[in-house]
Chain A
Amino acid sequence: MSDVVEKTLTALPSLLSLDSQPGSAKLSSTSKLGNLIRGITELTSKHEEEKLIQRELASIKEQVSSPNTSMRQMKELMVRAIYCESLGYEASFSYIHAIKLAQQGTVLEKRVGYLAVSLFLNESHELLLLLVNTVLKDLQSTNLIEVCMALTVVSQMFPKDMIPAILPLVEEKLNHPKEIIRRKAVLALYKFYLIAPNQVQHIHNKFRKALCDKDPGVMTASLHIYLQMIQENPEGYKDLTASFVTILKQVVGGKLPMDFNYHSVPAPWLQIQLLRILSLLGKNDQSTSEIMYEVLDESLRRAEMNHNITYAILYECVKCIYTIHPKSDLLEKAAKCIGNFVLSPKINLKYLGLKALTYVVQQDPKLALQHQMTIIECLDHPDLIIKRETLELLFRITNAQNVTVIVEKMLEFLHSNTDDYTTIDLVGKVAELAEKYAPGNEWFIETMNTVFSVGGDMMQPDIPNSFLKLLSEGFDTVEEDRKLRLFAVDSYVSLLQGEPGKLPQRFLQVISWVLGEYSHLREELEPATVMRLLAKLLDMKQTSSETKSWVLLAMTKLVRAGQVFQSAQEVSETYGSSMDTVLRQRAQELQHLSQDCELRARVLPQDAGLEPLEVDSSLSFLDGFVSEALAAGAAPYKPPHQRQEELAQAKALSLEPYGLSLPISMSSCSIADRQSPTLLSMSSGLSGDSTDLSHKGSSTTLKLDGVKRVWGREGYLAQREAVEEAAQVEVPSPLRSPSQQAEADSSHSQTPTPTPTPEPDQEKQQLASSLFFGLSSQSSVCLMGKSEPTPQRFRRKAKGQASSSGAAEQISNSLVSAPSAVDNFLCNNLLDSNITSQVGISSSEQTSELSQGPATTNGTCDTEAESTDGDIKGSNPSLIIGDNGLVAADPTPHKDPGSPKDFCLSSHLPAELSELCRSEITPLCSNQSLGLSACHVHKEDSLVLVVFITNSSDAAIRQILLDLDSEQLQVSCVSDSPVEDVTSHSVAMHQFSLTVKRPSVHVEVVGMVSYQLPVGTPQEVQFSYKLPLTSFIRPLTVSTEEYGTMWLSFSHDTKQNLTLISDGEEPLTATLNVLKEKLQLHIVEIIGMEGIIACQLLRDQPCLMHCRVHADVLAVWLRSPVPDLPDCLIYHCQRALQEH
């Protein structure tokens, strides 16, 4: 160990305790604490311990509250109190004294005080508020240790709401001369960033300064923040890639001082942090990835030492290499590395190897082939943890050929497993595989039976839901559907004839539903028999009332056959007087419907599963009832939050603005004018099989029919389809360069011959061949594109989605659906160099466009950074270079159309749009033949996205199809007949109207254009367009009274302090005017130090803002009926004020 370390460690004791000399730590065992601890160890029973501790606590309590106790004694008492608490005895009387100690003690006593506070209280404890002043004082202290302690406690636990109070002080510490303070300040800000990202977003440029700090420790600390920020928005930080690479190069090259070494490895934690950042930046981005290939290679090469820490680095390296845009020789080295891990005799390494393999096989299943014998061995490993991880791996490589073996292995594990969490997880996976790849009806039903019996009542409710959905909707031909249902019926009848008492409730519910719905398919099965079996369930003690209501419902369906009328009557009589209202309701239904055939046929039609039912969710059929009740003097309905508010008002002083302007209530206006067909009321009241169950509000209820009927088919299924699509892409191996392909093929052709194990066990070989079956054949399937997808048995029928999945070259289709696991490796599929380059262009352009945000803020930072920054040992990693290069299109409105290109395109805007305020026209993507650009135009009640398609080739482009989609937005096409053909060197234009589905700070539209050149196959190009939420904000003109009414009825809110602007004018007015101008808000009224503002997202999603000047900040409170909207708006307000 180096000299420096020696020195440190000898210095440590003196820091930690003034009173005890180094090495004398053990002396304190003679103290009172020592006596207590010894006393406890000598005791023999829990009872005695309790008595002793209670005595101890009583004595502590007495002493802490005595005025004569000095702080020094207090410190000692606190330590004892902590000890008692850690044994599980409550010492809450001491909490307040802990705070006092932190407040009033000298440095070392304070330290104990802070420790006690951090151990006693959690973040939401109210006493913590008392700590705020102490922290404030210590942050301003001239004593560095006090500052350190304050920063430590702040990063451990600090009330979220109070962050603004100390934020400026912590921020200030970023410029502190001592690096330890700077480092702790960075970490404290990191913590704030985690718990309240909005609060620190204005100091992003200061993070950049921390990244350039001359002390590597501060720089390392800042990487925590960068990792987070890059995870959220990788596009915004691409310019830093080269800097991160440079830093990593220096670290790997041993350029950091020796004392950063850990077991002779240079700064491993720093290396790993950088590798993680790089993999986020290089994901799906070829040009960025290219910057890092060299350093990754170097990292792999350098990490040779045989020590855990090097393996940890290697693991991150491998993950990074497989995440970024692939490079064949790196992949090869990484694969070798994984091999070493998996084959290692060290069990921890083996585990990590399996984990890496699991990560990697998603794009290259052949790697699993190489290690098949090891995987088989791991499957029988005595350590369950290894076994579990192996199953995870197998789950990823499952296909239609090996599904039975893999599912069998999983079920085997499930039977021996005792941990609930694992059971839930695995059961979900089995169900997923069964649904996706089941080889036959019989197998499917039996597997699902096991899933239901093992998963029992703790499995995810969507498993039975989607199972029943699948049964009812069918998946194949009518005949196949019928067979599956028949098989299910047979299987369940025999289960009920066995020991139904052992089956979990959820399973019984599934069984009852299926028998009710489909037992008529089996003609030789008497309804009476089924009725008897179901009645048996009702009589069992352990049957829950939820299950009973399912059973009753099934019986109601069965009486349609008519013969079982008698037993139905009996049952309905028994339960007609049940205490459970739901059961009673069901019994009533059974009673009535069994008597009235006509009504029954209407309410419960056979095979009703296929027609979506409309549900009147406004409950308008109750209007008559409500108005009668109101007339009879009942109180009008108030939504829960309003009730709560009123309750709070009644209880305490009103702290809310407009408390007094409480209107008579919204309900008075509604009843008369809300007329809707009461016809529907019948169907929603009676037939919604499980809508009643939802009254119970239990989250475990199977809301199967409710879900289906309320949502209708299209919406739900579209979602489902997307998921399956994604899951499909997951399996096939990606295309590789021909050479690699050949090589991979050759390696795979070796593997089936059992070379790896010296004496291949026959059985294992067999298992291997069944497990890894299909992995090899898949590559060929994949080569042919998707024209021959793996047959998926239970894939739901395509619901007429006119997607473009024809013969067109599928470029990264799933970018649109964007499931994270899949899109990592999309780039691998982009073999066709032509298209790759297009995508490359589009993404880099996108990058420049997107990063304009940071770029503008950097404007201020750059000079600062350049002047103060010495970089890492003056060797200038190119941190700053990237920033200036970012002069990009600025999509914010109110800008003169600047560039000639923009001008030229803008002439194509239709007259009615060209007058309106719009963003600059931004290029989206382009290639030799066509280019896409877009802008958005602000109309009063909508936002129009205009996409220009420029044909730059000499031939006409035909069959242009433009498809847009967005997670946050509703996109609809405006043009009546979208242009399909564009002649040579001309421009076509598409218009889309955008509305907000789900507010987000920035919203994004992703799209795909497919087209046909005169020669060659159809082409597709992807693009995306990002715009700020502000584009959707419109002023909302309301009166103060209306504002008051609305304020109370909105349930989502957020509060924050903003900085006031004071340029001459009165600050409040000045600030609000800036907001009004920049964000299109409407200022309703300004009264003294308060102002109220209203705006809306386009036409129907209002958001209200209440501002009050408080000291020299503006306390802002936003409310809206739309979740997330207040948070997004506050972000833009901050932004607007900052840019001002």
Chain B
Amino acid sequence: MWSGWSKTGTTVKQDRSCVSVVQMKCLLIASESAEVLFHWTDPEFQQNIQEQYGASQEEGQGLPAFEDSISTLFAPIIISCSTMVDRLGDNYTSFTTENNHIYVLHQFDECLYIAVNGDGEEGEDDLRRKIYVMKKMIEVMFGMVTLSSNLLRKELRPQDTDQRARLWKHLQSLLETYSHLRENDQSFLVEAVERLIHPTLCEQCIEFLERRLVQQLNSSVERAGEEVLHAFILVHTKLLAFYSSRNASTLPTSDLLALIIMAQNMYPSNVDLEDSGPEDVESTSGSGPESFYTPEPSPTDRDSSSSDKPVRGSTPVFEFVDPDIQMAEDSLRTLEVPPPDPSTPRRVFLEVSLKEGLYPMMPHSMYCLPLWPGITLVLLTKIPTTAVAMSVYTFLEAFANLEKRLSQGQEGSAATRGPPTIHDIRSKLDKFIKALGPSEIQSAQLQNVWTEFKNRAFTRGGPGFNKHLIPWCKHMKTQLCGIYRQCFLIDSGPADIPRRLSPSLQERAQTMVQEKLMDWKDFLLVKSKRNITMVSYLEDFPGLIHFICVDRSTGQMIAPSLNITERTTSELGKGPVARFIKSKVWNLVSTTRRYLQKGYSTVTLRDGDFYFCYFLWFENETGYKLEAGDIPILPDDSAPIGMLAWDYYSRKLLRYYSKNHQGEVVKCYELLTVHLGVIPTEIILQHCRQLASKLWEPSRNPLL
């Protein structure tokens, strides 16, 4: 009782009872001029805003009125942000109010993201993660257009209000899907992919995908120039089989997780179904897939969201600061809103690593084919014009580098040193523009800007390479992004030449896999809920309550299922107890991330009746444990630790660690355990050691 002394805790508590509690959540993207580029709010937030604005605006007009009020309310914050950046070179990262509302702010280029939580369920780190995930989803959807704030702004805020409403609804639903997964799915908690543990079936499926499916698809004439690179089968969020064709590069975990979110968003795991025990699944399994399929609650939303690309019409005219530079107007023709076509693939932009180097945000088509509710086949294809994207990226990078050097004060040849040299770029870009000429892509503006650039940069006696060229670097980048946008974001081209796997081909693929898995379907649905269970560990690890083990090199995780539904009894008991343990596990993950961010790779905590452990370690390829080394210490507002939005482990940790292990393959593992507090520490540590050494040998591990 004396701990009432500890200053902060009590005050918070007291405050909660005194101040009226408004629970609300919101995520807002705004331009520097306080224009709302996207917003997501929960009903409480909406209500709160409307109350503050009085009843006058809430009726009738719906979206625009709410949008106006939200932008008015946030405008002072947004404007203050740019003032702080301009005049102080610093920016806000978060606000906390006395009733524990948290505001997290982050600026990406000219887009300011603000995430708000008022119910105490998300901390600052969670909100920051949400912001980064939102940005990641936008990158997957818009690719390199995100590199031009100007274009992205127009992309995110189409002038046509219907189109805007559709796009925002889609983004909002993605965000909600992500939030739901993060709060309920362990693989999205730790941001690693969970595989279904059934080695035989997995192997069979991979073989099937390789020998039968992908081969057949890629040899079909109906593929319209597309080539299937990756194919995978998801059971809810868990991966049953993943196959990549030989000439495909590895799909990064970050992208795979983002794709799982998109698939989950398209075909959400039915919540009722999730709550039902295995018996219920059993009883309904006799009926055919069609009757079992739960229709979408609002088909229009779903349809529009799955086909918002082709719907895109009447894109506004670009308004540049410089009136001379008009972006080519590519889509003045107003498209009739076509009937939603489920076979239309989704354009996604994924990272590709080739021999030549790393190409982020390369265009792919994603086909999400539902096999049964909860089981989905996903195909990722390379589109025929990928080479254009690679060229654009090369040019973009070159101009970005040039701009950077020029703004650092370098001039002349110092600024233009390669590779690739500016002369290289010059000839390549000339060829590129020439090649674009006869195509439908409107490249006149790019041509003009490029000519002007060349005049300034290369003309004898001209200004040459100095800081006056910086705006022209920017113009070039914008134009290149515009070309990229025309190529990959707008379904240009005659409608009679479909640029996708034909619907019948898709259907055939769907049927093939359905046939293959027909006998396994019910098993898989149950297995996905009971992938591995604590029961198998109780005997060998008395006192162990839960664990999560993550292989960060492959981005995969293993953890016993945590079922917290009322109807099913798991090893953790029913509802409340299981929920309590679940909340402990979720807290543990965020706690250990905070310590990891500050350079601590081992954490043990005695908390209430539990003892928590966290270990992070490195091994070489042969499994030899490498010595623990320095881990970078990151600032509070650094990108969240995880793999979805930004791969901390490969981008930061391994890069940092590998400095002392050059030429060696370094693998990184994490283990989290929850034990009963009464178990002696030595025993707990022995358990951890056993788990750490056994878990990644599934074939040899009798427990799996």
Whether both chains belong to one complex is answered with no
